[in-house]
Every structure is written in structure tokens, then in C-alpha cells.
Amino acid sequence: MDDSGLLCCEVNVEWLNKQGILNRKLSSKKASLRILRGNTQQIFIEISVEKVAPVKLSFSKDTQVHNKFMKDGKSSIRFPSENATVFISNAPPEKLRGFLKTIFIKMTNGKALPKVSTTLRNQVLLHKPSQYEDISPVTDGEIIKAVRKANGKSTDTTPSPLAGRKRKIERSSTDKAPAAKKLYSELPLQEHTLDDEQMNILNACLSGQNIFFTGSAGTGKSFLLKKIIGALPPDVTVATASTGVAACHIGGITLHQFAGIGGGDARIERCIELASKPPIVTIWRKCKHLIIDEISMVDGTYFQKIEEVARKIRKNDKPFGGIQLILCGDFFQLPPVAKQVPGEKKFSGSRFCFQTEAWNTCRLITFELQNVHRQTDKRFISILNRIRLGKVDEDVTNTLKETAKQNIEGDGILATRLCSHTKDADIINETKLKALEGQSKIFEAEDLIPGTTKQLDNQTPVPGRLELKIGAQVMLLKNVNVSAGLVNGARGVVKDFRNGLPLVQFKNKKEYLAQREQWIVKTAGGASLTRKQIPLKLAWAFSIHKSQGLTLDCVEMSLGRVFEAGQAYVALSRAQSLEGLRVHDFKSSQVWANPEVISFYKTLDQMRIIPLGVNRNATNKVNIKSRPVKKSFKKLMMEKPIVTIQ
């Protein structure tokens, strides 16, 4: 049964007397709230806490619901007729959202709609023979639709009566329940829903076990991670990622910021000392669920160190001091940035997290997502899956070579070039902007707290200083209108400046007068830093490293200078379709997978923990190739040569 009428959270209820003085109080860190319907159809909220009889407060037309901090798991509901206020905190944000939506629907439905007959209601909802009935967020309109569908009558063919009624509801709900109307309009837009495999992983995460989920690029790992974050209590959940941009994508902080041990290069005793300082220590102790996105880029030695720090700081011998770990990433994508210990020539420590003892002691339950959502073309998905494993056959080579001739530009929007080196991307953007005629317009970001610019530069995708001209190639950095296709990653060109703001035309021909948008990032201490800026960035070129996690609709690349295993795969898998991709001078030697990653995924497959493609697709024919690897890696690589499976 739908449980959106049920919420587990921290609660404070305050009753005031007529003079506004606190009369009675109820507080609990572990309360459960239910929305119920009484025999007289009256809607109640029932608050149950241990050792106290449940409290019931009844909704009326003057009930006020405050949802401004819903994303942080906080809300308050005021019942003026009973002089009481319910303060909700530490509620899983997604659950809270569903709970408040149920209240909204019941508040407006009850007043604005003609009643649906009990028979109809019982056909759809479970009837409870008790004095109170659990309620669901189903509207009367939805009940009618569901019953008609069950009876084989399509509701689509009878639009007028329902549509007319819906309009009436909207009007009358504005008249009769303004608070509820406001609440509903402020609820975030529902985007896609989780598919079955994503849902399984969400449930596994909610069961409290340590989880690692992987999957090829575009299988919705980050998308799912956001839903997982939304389903966990925010006060005890820390969402992190290995890079600032990835952290911003899931509304979290970098793992380095959270852990508070700098780069982790110091000896373990010093690392523990560093993490024992406030406010870092408080967060380490409070944390019950640690989420890490883009785990492939977390250095193994660092991962091992924070595991020990966690045990010592929390004075708990369980792995990670008893914190639940939720790890997500694809080790076939970018590896950790190579680290060289000062004074030592050798690359130091474990390269990947999965090679550490800490990884083994955590006993992670592993899943692999199989459904690719970024691309829809089955042929392109199959090509990308082969590239992920370093398998480049004739079909892959020919298909990618053919893209070199494609004209993917349209309406003045040029393809974004992905570069293997960050410097190259910066130079391209600077030179192209300079070459445009016309006046530059500079947009300086408004960083609300002085001195936070560097951190915001690192943690948000949006530049502190944005220089634009008419004709500048740009990328949108926010979902400003999902249904119009104005989404994060959409490519456009600056057509004009109106009232000092850039007018951008996108690939789908939609125009958008860019307004300042807001980015809020968290500090390790839990404070919020805010940057306001035009949600655009120059897009003639990006580095492949900066493009990790992105979805791009018009992209070109030359992979001649790639230097990491998985780098070509990351670049190619940013494209949404073969039609929106152009690869120059493609050669099979530009694609290779790390042999240690291949072995790791094979062990997972052998353990039958997850179904994987490595064993099934790889043949025994293995070509050993020498790669243009980074100097600091060379010694390591001499022992274990990089291979390409063909």
C-alpha cells in the first residue's frame, strides 16, 4: 500500500495559550506521523511517540503548511484553531515531499471537489474497518480514472467533463485553500521515476546494508543516488563525491571536505588528529549513512585511510566505524588522479578503492544497473558497451570513423569539442571568444558570503566570472524548463542581449532569456554557501575530465592524445546519440580498459553477485599494447601492462 500518508522523523509539537505562551510541548527524535480520515471524513494528523498516547490534530481551512525547507527534511504545520504547531525535522526529503503533497491533495480535494462515492473509493483503496482510515494521496479524479480503466473504459476519450471539473478544482482551491495551493505550486516538478532495477537498489540501501552499485555510463547511477539521498534522514546522511562538480550534481560536498584530512598524505596519527577538530569531528560522529559518487576516482590509499579514521574517531571497531556506506560509480570510467609522494619516484599506494583491505572488510553488496537511459539507440548503446570493455571490433571502428563526416551543427550551434587536456579546452574557449566581433559582457557571480569564491568555483559548475559576446557557444547549467528541453547540458548560442541579459537560442530552437539562478552548496560543517550567476558556461570545448557525469547533445572529439584507460569511453558516452557525435581520426588504439578493472569485474561476475558483461562478451584473444601512460605510472605499468581485449 502507498505509504505517503506516513512519515518517520523528529518532531516537536507546541501548544500555546491565548496569550501566546507555551502551554504544552511534545518532543521526540523518533516519531511517526500519519494522515488519517475519521468517520466524518475529517482529516487528521496523528503523531505517535514512544510511551505517550498518540496525539491527533485536525486539518481545517486555516491550517498552514510551511515547506520552504522541505529539501532539508524540515517543515512546520500550524493548526490555528487548536493553537498548535508541529515542527518536523530530519525527515527523508522525498518522503516529506510525498507527505506534504498528500496533505495538500486532501486539503484541496475535500473542499473543492464533489464527493466521490464510497463504493468507488473502495474499489481503488483498501478499506480499513477501524475508526480511522489511512489515506493515500490519490485524488478523487484519479479514483474515477482508475475505476474506469479497470472497467476497460478509457478516460482519454472523455476529456471534457473531467477537464472542466479539473479547471473548477483549480479555481475553487485557490479560493478556499490558499495555503495548500501555495504548497502545491512550490513542490518540485516530478521528473522521471525509478525503473525496477533502480528501485531494487533503493530498497537495498534503505535496508541499511553497505552497497556498491555500478553500471555503464548513463544507466542513471547519479539519478538514483539523488533519490537515495532524498529517502534518507538528512541530519545523519552525508552525500559526497570524488570531484566538486560531481558533488554539486547530487547536492553534496566533496569526500575530501567531509573527511577533513586534507589530501590524506599525512601519517594516520596526524590524519586522526586533523579529523578530531570541530566541526569535522561532529559530522564524523553524527554520520550514519555515507554516500560517495564517482567512486572510481577516489584514490585507494585515501579510502583505506578514511576507513581507519572513521573507526578511531567514532570509537567503533566495525568497518567505517559502523557508518552505512553507499558507493556508486563505474571503474571503467576515469581512474583516480595519479599521486606522487614528495621525494619518492614511485606512484604510491593502491590505485583503486576495490584493491584495498577496507573495501573487503565493508562487505559491500554489489549491483549493476543494466538499462541505459542516456542513449536510446540500441546500436549506439552496444558500441559504447564494447568500448567500455576495451573491445574495438570492425563495426565499432567503422561506425565511429563514419561520424567524422557528419554535419551535426545547426542554427549556428557548433559541436562542443572534448579535449583530453584541460589546458587545450581553456585555450580553445578563450581564442574563439576573442575572435568574435562585438562587445563583451561580463557577468560576475554574486557569492553571498565573502571569501567563499574559491570553494564555490570548485564545487559548482558555474564560473565566478562569465564573459559572453553575441555568437558565443554556451551550455546551460541548470534544468530551467524540463518540458521545453531547457535542461542541464543543453547546447545553445548567444543571439542577443536584452535588458543586459543574454538571450540564448538552443539546439531545439527554443529561446531563453537567461536570468540569474542560484547554486547552494554545503560546507563540511553543514553551512550553506550560495552563488547566484547566469546559468551558462562557454562550450566551444571542455576537458574530458570535466565532462564526466554530463549528457551532451552535440559533441565532437579527437582522441589522439588520451592518456588514461576509460578516457575515450567517458568522452564518447557523453553523446546522447550517434547523430549528435563527431569523432575525428578514430583509431582502435585510443580505446583501452584497465586490466585490473577487468579482473575486478570478472570476480564480481564469478561470484554471481551481479550480472556483468565482461565474461560474456570478452573473448580470450588479448592484445598487449604499450600505452602513452603518464610518467609517474610507468613503473606500476611495467609489472601489469595495459591490455586491450579485441
Ligand X SMILES: Nc1ncnc2c1ncn2[C@@H]1O[C@H](COP(=O)(O)OP(=O)(O)OP(=O)(O)O)[C@@H](O)[C@H]1O
Residue set of the binding site for ATP: 215-222
Q: Which residues contact 569 (CB under 8 A, 6 or more apart)?
A: 217, 332, 333, 384, 387, 388, 591, 593
Could you say whether residue 192 binds ligand X (CB under 6 A)?
yes
Q: Nearer Cβ to ligand X, position 222 or 399?
A: 222
**In this structure, which amino acid lies at residue 280?**
I
Q: Which residues contact 230 (CB under 8 A, 6 or more apart)?
A: 92, 93, 94, 95, 97
The least CB distance from residue 487 to ligand X, in Å, is 8
The least CB distance from residue 492 to ligand X, in Å, is 17
Number of residues that bind ligand X (CB under 6 A): 17
- Alpha-carbon distance of 225 to 241, in angstroms, equals 11
Which residue among 461, 549, 566, 595 contacts Mg ion (CB under 5 A)? 549
Choose the binding region for ligand X from 116-124, 190-198, 206-214, 635-643 (rule: CB under 6 A): 190-198
Choose the binding region for Mg ion from 401-409, 431-439, 546-554, 572-580 (rule: CB under 5 A): 546-554
Neighbour tally for 267: CB within 10 Å: 9
Q: Nearer Cβ to ligand X, position 34 or 374?
A: 374
Q: Which residue, 73, 75, 80, is CA-closest to 58?
A: 80
Could you say whether residue 488 binds Mg ion (CB under 5 A)?
no
User: Which residue of the chain is nearest ligand X when measured via CB?
Assistant: 220
Q: Which residue, 482, 609, 459, 597, is CA-closest to 528?
A: 459
The least CB distance from residue 243 to Mg ion, in Å, is 11
Q: Which residue, 297, 305, 322, 302, is CA-closest to 236?
A: 322
- Alpha-carbon distance of 46 to 604, in angstroms, equals 46
Q: Nearer Cβ to ligand X, position 44 or 354?
A: 354
Q: Which residues are annotated as a binding site?
A: 215-222
- Alpha-carbon distance of 56 to 44, in angstroms, equals 6
Q: Nearer Cβ to Mg ion, position 103 or 544?
A: 544
The torsion of the CA quartet 290, 295, 299, 301, rounded to 10 degrees, works out to: 50
Residue 120 binds which one of ligand X, Mg ion, none, with CB within 5 to 8 A depending on kind?
Answer: none
Burial (CB count <10 Å: 0-12, 13-18, 19+), residue 629: middle
Neighbour tally for 518: CB within 10 Å: 12
Residue 217 binds which one of ligand X, Mg ion, none, with CB within 5 to 8 A depending on kind?
Answer: ligand X
Give the contact letters, 313-352, x = binds to ligand X (CB under 6 A), - = no.
-----------------x----------------------
Q: Nearer Cβ to ligand X, position 333 or 558?
A: 333
Q: Nearer Cβ to ligand X, position 93 or 220?
A: 220
- Alpha-carbon distance of 441 to 552, in angstroms, equals 26
Residue 384 binds which one of ligand X, Mg ion, none, with CB within 5 to 8 A depending on kind?
Answer: none
Q: Which of residues 85-104 bind Mg ion (CB under 5 A)?
A: none
Beta bridge partners of 37: 43, 133
Residue 308 binds which one of ligand X, Mg ion, none, with CB within 5 to 8 A depending on kind?
Answer: none
Q: Which residue, 23, 4, 7, is CA-closest to 15?
A: 23
Beta strand ranges found along 470-565 (DSSP E): 473-476, 491-498, 501-506, 511-513, 517-522, 528-533, 536-538, 541-543, 555-558
Choose the binding region for Mg ion from 26-34, 171-179, 220-228, 552-560 (rule: CB under 5 A): 220-228
* SS3 of residue 95 by DSSP: helix
**In this structure, which amino acid lies at residue 19?**
Q
For residue 325, report the phi and psi dihedrals to the nearest 5 degrees: -100, 135
Q: Which residues contact 302 (CB under 8 A, 6 or more apart)?
A: 263, 264, 336
Residue 268 binds which one of Mg ion, ligand X, none, with CB within 5 to 8 A depending on kind?
Answer: none
Q: Nearer Cβ to ligand X, position 140 or 330?
A: 330
Q: Are 211 and 364 in contact (CB under 8 A)?
A: yes
Q: Nearer Cβ to ligand X, position 221 or 522?
A: 221
Q: Are strands 211-215 and 365-369 parallel, antiparallel or unpaired?
A: parallel
Q: Nearer Cβ to ligand X, position 177 or 246?
A: 246
The least CB distance from residue 549 to Mg ion, in Å, is 4
Give the contact letters, 371-390, x = binds to ligand X (CB under 6 A), - = no.
--xx----------------
The least CB distance from residue 386 to ligand X, in Å, is 16
Q: Are 42 and 36 in contact (CB under 8 A)?
A: no
Q: Which residue, 370, 337, 241, is CA-closest to 295?
A: 241
Choose the binding region for ligand X from 85-93, 160-168, 193-201, 553-561 (rule: CB under 6 A): 193-201
585-597: buried (b, 16+ CB within 10 Å) or exposed (e) per residue? ebebbbbbbbbbb
The least CB distance from residue 642 to ligand X, in Å, is 21
Q: Nearer Cβ to Mg ion, position 241 or 419?
A: 241
Q: Which residues contact 465 (CB under 8 A, 6 or more apart)?
A: 442, 443, 444, 445
Give the contact letters, 211-250, x = binds to ligand X (CB under 6 A), - = no.
----x-xxxxxxx---------------------------
Residue 194 binds which one of Mg ion, ligand X, none, with CB within 5 to 8 A depending on kind?
Answer: ligand X
Q: Are 482 and 191 in contact (CB under 8 A)?
A: yes
The least CB distance from residue 402 to ligand X, in Å, is 24
The least CB distance from residue 194 to ligand X, in Å, is 5
Q: Nearer Cβ to ligand X, position 220 or 321?
A: 220
Could you say whether residue 503 binds ligand X (CB under 6 A)?
no
The least CB distance from residue 373 to ligand X, in Å, is 3
- Alpha-carbon distance of 112 to 177, in angstroms, equals 9
The least CB distance from residue 218 to ligand X, in Å, is 4
Omega before 279 cis (within 30°)? yes
The least CB distance from residue 191 to ligand X, in Å, is 7
* SS3 of residue 491 by DSSP: strand
Q: Tell me which H or E stretch contains 10.
A: strand 6-16
Q: Nearer Cβ to ligand X, position 260 or 335?
A: 335
Which residue among 3, 195, 517, 579 contacts ligand X (CB under 6 A)? 195
Give the contact letters, 542-581, x = binds to ligand X (CB under 6 A), - = no.
-------x-x------------------------------
Which residue among 12, 172, 174, 222 contacts Mg ion (CB under 5 A)? 222
Q: Nearer Cβ to ligand X, position 46 or 195?
A: 195
Could you say whether residue 198 binds ligand X (CB under 6 A)?
yes
Give me the residues that bind Mg ion (CB under 5 A), please.
Answer: 221-222, 549
Give me the residues that bind ligand X (CB under 6 A), please.
Answer: 192, 194-195, 198, 215, 217-223, 330, 373-374, 549, 551
